[in-house]
Structure 1
């Protein structure tokens, strides 16, 4: 069975967004978890998909110009990810969204469809986010691994990645390593 692997960049206090609604401490939104060789699809929630599509489409169209959403030039890693993802199937869990600019996007209407997707042949699936879908799928027992890049910052408010997770979930450490001197990449699997 394919694994569903969540990858998120968070503050030390577990926030994926600060009080202003944005993770201004993240300098690049590339896939920095080492998942690319192991995945062949991305899964997102309805709240995150429109911004994701807008961000990466802008980068594909003008990779050498500042991003309209951030005013920053894309990193080399972001440009590489932007080249890779248009050909990768994207699944969006949504009961309301009906159209997408990317032709390789399919809408899933229920959690049961995600369970079915995991049973299909293929590589693992990258759960890009956001917080609501991540919590929902952890609560449903569908997330196999969580990869976090932890920034040395206490955001002091904002949206927490695990705010909506129900109950207690035991995790097993897969790996922990420093990234760029200040960040930490933590990888966990859910304990059986």
Structure 2
């Protein structure tokens, strides 16, 4: 069985909305509001090396697909299988992208062989995956910010026990928390 990992840039108040750009009033908060510390992003390189597939929702697909294929730092992601959970996407143009129509299809993907499946962005998808019991691990880069509103990673009212398996703190105040879901 494959491990499903939700990986996010997140604020202290749980917001994952528009970390690099987008519609949020404070879009781009990962680089506009916190000094860059290369060490904090080591986990991102490790994820890319270890991942067997990427799983995203339709909105993230629409944001990533026009940009990531031209970025050298995402060459591994661009080559690996990508899965989009969508009921409306029919003809994905991004190399090696497949459409899954349901969480049941995600569960079947987890049952297969291969490296971890990474969920990037997609807070609505992450909440659905968590509610369905499909998330195994969280990779959270926690930024020392409070945005006061925006899309959140965790749904209101959900209770999940997590076990910290790796952590680090960086000079810019960012913290890495790698957490396994306790079942």
Instruction: Say whether the fold is shared (TM-score over 0.5).
Output: yes
Provide the rounded CA distance (Å) in 1 between the counterparts of 2:149 and 2:12.
12
- Quick one: structure 1 residues 95 and 25, their matched pair in 2 at CA, closer, same or farther if it must change by over 3 Å? same
Alpha-carbon distance in 1 for matches of 2:4, 2:84: 14
Q: Figure out how many residues of one structure are paired with residues of the other and give that number.
A: 170
Please give the alpha-carbon distance, in whole angstroms, between the structure 2 residues aligned to 1:86 and 1:93. Answer: 17
| Residue of structure 2 in register with 1:127 after alignment | 119
Whether the aligned pair in 2 keeps the contact of 1:146 and 1:187 (CA below 8 Å) is: yes
Q: Which residue pairs with 1:72 in the alignment?
A: none
Partner SS for 1:47: helix
Would the aligned equivalents of 2:16 and 2:121 in 1 still touch at CA under 8 Å?
Answer: no
Match of residue 168 from structure 1: 159
Partner of 2:58: 46
Q: CA deviation at 1:180?
A: 4.8
Specify which of 26, 30, 39 is matched with residue 30 of structure 2: 26
Three-state SS of the structure 1 residue aligned to 2:8 is strand
Structure 1 gaps of 5+ residues are: 64-78
Work out whether residues 43 and 129 of structure 1, in 8 Å CA contact, stay in contact via their aligned partners in 2.
no
- Contact 2:49–2:76 (CA<8 Å) still a contact in 1? no
Distance in 2, Cα, partners of 1:179 & 1:122: 32
Q: Deviations over 1:9-61 (max 9, x none)?
A: 01111101269526421139x7844322321100001121110112213xx1x
What secondary structure is seen at the aligned counterpart in 2 of 1:48?
A: helix
Task: Give RMSD over aligned pairs.
Answer: 2.1
- Counterparts of 1:116 and 1:166, CA distance in 2: 27
Give the secondary structure class of the aligned counterpart of 1:117: helix
Aligned with residue 141 of structure 2, among 126, 149, 158: 149
* Conserved? CA contact 1:136–1:165, under 8 Å: no
1: CA distance, partners of 2:42 / 2:125: 18
What's the TM-score, normalizing by structure 1?
Answer: 0.81
Corresponding residue for residue 179 of structure 1:
170
Aligned to 1:4: 4
**Partners of 1:165 and 1:190 in 2: CA distance:** 17
